Structure formats: C-alpha cells, structure tokens
Chains A and B, each alone.
Chain A
Amino acid sequence: MDILTAEFFQRALIGGALIAVTAPLMGLFLVLRRLAMIGDTLAHVSIAGVALGFLIHAYPVAVGLLFAILASFAIEWLRRKYRTYAELSLAIIMSGGIALASLLFTMGKGFNANVTSYFVGGSIYTLNSTDLMVIAGVTVIVLTMVLIHKKELFLLTFDEEAAAVSGLPVKYFNIMMSILTALVISASIKIVGALLVSALLVIPAACGLVLSRSFKQAVILVVIIGEVAVLAGLWIAGVANLAPGGTIVLLLIGILAVSITTTRIMRA
C-alpha cells in the first residue's frame, strides 16, 4: 500500500478533492442552463491552448486557461445570437478548438507525446506544486463568487428573463459564469483529462436532478457525489493500478445508475 503514502499520490488526492468541489458545482448551473456539453467544448479548446503553450514554452495550463476564457466568451456571444440553440454555439466552438489543436500538433512534433499523455488522458499523478496552487486558487475564486451570488445565480438559472426584470445585471453574471467555467475546466483537464472533464461536470448534476427536490439539496448533493467518486476512484485506481481518470468516471456512471434506479423504485 505504499502508493497511498507516496507524495505524488497525496498531491493527487488534494488536487482531486478540490476539483471535485468546483467542477460538479459549476456543472449543476451549466446543465440547468442547457449547456451540458460546454465541458467538452472548452476542454478541446483548452487543449489547443496547451499545445500552443508547449510550442512557445509557456506554462501550458495558463495558455489553456486563456484559450478557454476566450472560447467561453465566444460561446456566450453565439448563445445570444442563436437564442434557443445553445448547443449550436458549443458545436461550432468545439470543432474550432479541435481544428486549432490538430494544426498546432502538426507544427510542434516534439511535444505531441506530452500533450496527449498529460492533458488528453489526464495525469493526476504528475501534479506539481504550481498545478496544486492553480487548482487551489481556482477553487477559492469559484466558491467565493458562487457563495456571494447564490440567490442571484439561482434566479438567473431558473428564469433568466425574471432575473433581468428584477433589475439584476444579467450580462455581468453571464460573463462571470463564463469565466468561472473556463477556470474550472482548464484546471480540471490535468486531473481527469480533456476527454473526461465533462463527466465530472455533468454526471453529478445528472444525479442531483433525479435525487433532489430543492436547489439547496442539489448543490450539496453534487459536491458530495463528486468527492465520493474522485476520492474513492483515486484510491481504487492506486491500489489496483488502474487509470485514475477512467476509474473516476466509471464510478460516477455507477452512482448515476444507482440514483436513477433507486428513485424509480421509491416512486413506484
């Protein structure tokens, strides 16, 4: 069991525990606003940024974050252009991100292996202290912003028009949510990988939707589910020598399956 006490594994636990708070929390808001696929989209754009980071020898996570923020603004802008077709904006930006990433991949032949192994599949075991600081910073920012605005974010998510009629600065809130989403996604990529990032955003929210009656319950529940899946997933993966990202996501899907069947039994 010495893997459990190894420093890299402890870093993984800390990073994972932090991301398991913020990703499901933001995911709940995103799912309820019909932007469930934003995780995938921003992750792919972020990968393009990471590739550019390697190419110009900058901190890849930072360049990825910059790309994600720009992309989230573009999504919000397109979402307003095509009012009821929020998913259209995601599809456009996602293909743009993949295209850009593949272009950058062909330009820098030396780092392809790094990008694919560290970011596409995730590399929670290679978190360094800079990564941990970034993740901790993101967690503090996201929690503070969501907690001070929790009433307003509820109204904005439940009924954007009513929020506007109440005189809330809806535009400012939408920009804030875009930035927070970009922050969470670019920080999560290194942990679960670009391919699996949306699982951590979306699956806890999907459980919350079937299990909770109130919004407050849903918020608490998504965070608990995120924590259970990430910590248990890391432990199982560590002990059984499995891929951590994949283990976490399969656990999440297992929790979702149990949630759906139990509510069905209870309601029947």
Chain B
Amino acid sequence: MNTTASIQQAGCHQEIIRLDGVSFSFDSQVVLSDVSFKIMERDFVGLIGSNGAGKTTLLRMIVGLTQPQKGSITLFGTPSSKFKDWDKIGYVPQRNHFNPLFPATVKEVVLSGLYGRKRLYRRISKEDASRCEDALGALQIQDLGDKRIGALSGGQQQRVFLARALINNPKLLILDEPLSGIDIETQQSFFHMIKHMHQRHNITFLMVSHDMDMVRSYLGQEPKEKCGKLSFYVRHSHDLENCEGTDLLHSLRKEG
C-alpha cells in the first residue's frame, strides 16, 4: 500500500519540488554541483548528508533564502523566483536558533506562522486564534499556550515550532534537523508524530537529518538517489484515495 517507487501510478499527485541541475559554491569551494531531484506530492523525503555536504544550503535555496548559481528550482510547478504561495510551505528551523530570554508566549510564536505576505496589514482574527488553539491541540501542547517559549524543554519547543509550521495547513513541510539537540525518547515520539501525519494526511515532507537510523527505519535502507555527498531517501504514501486537501489541524485534533 504505502511503498516506494509507485509514484508514477498516482495520477493526481503533482510535483511539489523540482531541482534541475542546481549548483552552488562559496568562493572556490563547491558545495552543490548539478543536483537534480523531484519530490512528488505525499512523498516523505529524508535528505541525509554529513556536515558540509550542502544540506542547509539546498534547503535555504528551496525556501528562497539563497539563490542557486546555476540550475533552477520549481515549487508547486512555479519557478521559485516567481513563487508567491509561501503559505503552502511550513518551515521548522533548527532548534536553538532563538534567544531563550525572548519575551514571547507559545501562542504568540504559533500565531506568527500566519504572518506572511498575504496577511500584511490584516489584523489577527478570531478564526486565527481558533486555528492557533487547533494547532496547539493537534500537538498536545494546549496547556503550554501562555508559557514563555524559553521556559520549555527542547522537545516541547520543537512541538511549538511544528505547530507554527502547521497552522497554515501547509502542503509541504520542511524540517531542518528537527531531531538534533533533544533526547532519544523525545526524538522517537516526535518522529512517530511526523510519520503518523505523513501516513494519514495530504502533506509532503522534506526532512534534513544526519540521524541515519531513524530515517532508515521509516524510509528504507537504500537512498532513492545520490548526488555528491547528499542522499535522498524517499517513501511515498498514497493510501488516501482522495487527493483533495482536508483541513489538517481539524483532522489531527479529532484523532487526538
């Protein structure tokens, strides 16, 4: 049912990310050379590579923070330079990226996932507030809503950032080393949660990690493709007959 390499059969699955001959170098040091890869709807892609393999650079290019020097990136069928639907992409940054003394509550951080270009000059509505509650509920952190983000444990913070990424009901979730810096038990429950989401919901994952074991346990032993020092492990899930999107937060919450 949910095995790899059956992507072509799924007619209604669109291309989410397409990399064509992407290259990048810092001065004379080549970081990425001629990387080509396609990510289809409902794929779970694990991007594995040692330090300096160019994982972060590739990720930064996909989300538009860095431009490729050669090649092109297409997001949801649109060249990334013309891409406007950034609310379709949820992004979970590396942890410990923020200042622990920052005065912000969990709710404020989760709500900030909604503040994109499309909502400029719009106020936070009641609907936004209830989406925030849904996102907190889906990740079982509803009782932390008014806590200061810096006062939480690493695993809890990671859930907050995941809730922030999910509040927009994204089609693509990008996670940058979500498992680093948290203890094994929390890592496992976090990974379990993402797997669960992948199996039941219409959402595509791109996860950068250097933790081979956990990734291989879900995505298989062999990478689908290798490009320089980068390996792409892929697992496709298409047991949802219906490819129409449902509201992720609501269904996640119902499952409890």
Chain A residues with CB under 8 Å of chain B are: 32, 34, 148, 151-152, 154-155, 158-159, 161-169, 208-209, 212-218
CB-nearest residue of chain A to B176:
A161
Q: Does B102 contact A (CB under 8 A)?
A: yes
Knowing A155-B115, A158-B104, A218-B103 touch, does A165 contact B98 (C-beta < 8 A)? Answer: no
B110-134 contacts to A (CB < 8 Å): 112-113, 115-121, 124
User: Are B115 and A209 in contact, with the CB atoms below 8 A?
Assistant: no
Knowing A214-B108, A215-B108 touch, does A166 contact B116 (C-beta < 8 A)? Answer: yes
**B81-115 interface mask toward A, CB cutoff 8 Å, 1 = contact, 0 = none?**
00010110101010001110111110111001101
B39-58 contacts to A (CB < 8 Å): none
User: Are B109 and A158 in contact, with the CB atoms below 8 A?
Assistant: yes
Q: State how many angstroms separate the Cβ of A242 from the closest Cβ of chain B.
A: 33
Closest 9 CB pairs of A and B: A167-B86, A166-B116, A167-B117, A218-B103, A214-B105, A155-B112, A165-B91, A165-B63, A151-B115
Q: Can you sample 25 A-B contacts with CB below 8 Å?
A: A34-B99, A151-B115, A154-B104, A154-B112, A155-B112, A158-B112, A159-B98, A161-B91, A162-B112, A162-B113, A164-B64, A166-B86, A166-B115, A166-B117, A167-B84, A167-B86, A169-B117, A209-B103, A212-B103, A213-B147, A214-B104, A214-B148, A215-B103, A215-B105, A215-B108
Partner of A151, one of B102, B119, B147, B148: B119
Residues on the A chain within 8 Å of B101, using CB: 209
Q: State how many angstroms separate the Cβ of B154 from the closest Cβ of chain A.
A: 17
Q: Does B1 contact A (CB under 8 A)?
A: no
Knowing A154-B112, A165-B63, A166-B115 touch, does A159 contact B148 (C-beta < 8 A)? Answer: no
User: Are A214 and B103 in contact, with the CB atoms below 8 A?
Assistant: yes
Q: Does B146 contact A (CB under 8 A)?
A: yes
Knowing A167-B84, A212-B103 touch, does A162 contact B117 (C-beta < 8 A)? Answer: no
Partner of B117, one of A159, A161, A168: A168
Please measure, in the bound complex, the distance between the C-alpha atom of A208 and the C-alpha atom of B87, giving whole angstroms.
32
User: Are A166 and B87 in contact, with the CB atoms below 8 A?
Assistant: yes
User: Are B103 and A151 in contact, with the CB atoms below 8 A?
Assistant: no
Partner of B146, one of A209, A212, A213: A213
Q: Does B65 contact A (CB under 8 A)?
A: yes
Which interface residue of B103, B118, B164 has the most chain A CB atoms within 10 A?
A: B103
